[in-house]
A and B are shown apart, each in its own frame.
Chain A
Amino acid sequence: GEDVEQSLFLSVREGDSSVINCTYTDSSSTYLYWYKQEPGAGLQLLTYIFSNMDMKQDQRLTVLLNKKDKHLSLRIADTQTGDSAIYFCAGDTDKLIFGTGTRLQVFP
């Protein structure tokens, strides 16, 4: 089955850029997603990219997709303390397959 891996933890200074990485094994997903989860809350869809695209920019968020290497990344520009959360990448085969999650900590 699909396997989606993420690094567990990322710490950045406020104002810097954050890059969260994700690797996956199954390339049959039509879309690839990034979700954010704050403590005690559900999942918030941040952005998604169609599988035939290489890049998508949405305000402070940039998604890069390297299909050859099966690598997806999320760049957050000008990271703020409010961006501290767990970030999940996900692919959709016939259901959402989530990565292990990356905890982003933003310090002043």
Chain B
Amino acid sequence: KAGVTQTPRYLIKTRGQQVTLSCSPISGHRSVSWYQQTPGQGLQFLFEYFSETQRNKGNFPGRFSGRQFSNSRSEMNVSTLELGDSALYLCASKPELADNEQFFGPGTRLTVL
């Protein structure tokens, strides 16, 4: 079974631009979560989607948004990019909301210049 895939793997943007990252969960997994990893703040939860609905949200500004499609694929969007948004964005999936094991993708490395 294929693992969690994230596209693109690397991205370079400039301040003020917007970006969309994509995550395809493991087949059959319906829950998708997003995390931001930076050297200064570590790993921080962004949001979780299940059945096309946002179920939980971390403490990030409204510039960070996401959505989930009927096939469970998820996208996250960051508008008006800031230098501090440079990070590794990780996506994780699990079969159901109540399941405890999350499986992570390789991440998308976003650099904001």
Contacts and interface: CB of A to CB of B under 8 A. Distances in A.
A95 B48 contact: yes
B71 to A, nearest CB: 21
Given A95-B33, A95-B58, A43 B45 contact: no
Nearest to A6: B42
B106 A41 contact: yes
Contacts of B43: 43, 88, 90, 96, 98, 101
A30 B100 contact: yes
Interface size bracket, A side? 20 to 34
Contacts of B64: none
A96 B45 CA distance: 7
B25 to A, nearest CB: 13
B90 interface: yes
A107 B28 CA distance: 41
A92 interface: yes
Interface string A45-73: 10010000000000000000000000000
Contacts of B90: 42-43
Given A94-B56, A97-B45, A100-B42, A48 B105 contact: no
30 contacts: A30-B100, A31-B100, A40-B106, A41-B106, A41-B107, A42-B4, A42-B90, A42-B104, A42-B106, A42-B107, A43-B43, A43-B90, A43-B92, A45-B102, A45-B103, A88-B43, A90-B43, A92-B100, A94-B56, A95-B33, A95-B45, A95-B58, A96-B33, A96-B43, A96-B102, A98-B35, A98-B42, A98-B43, A100-B42, A101-B42
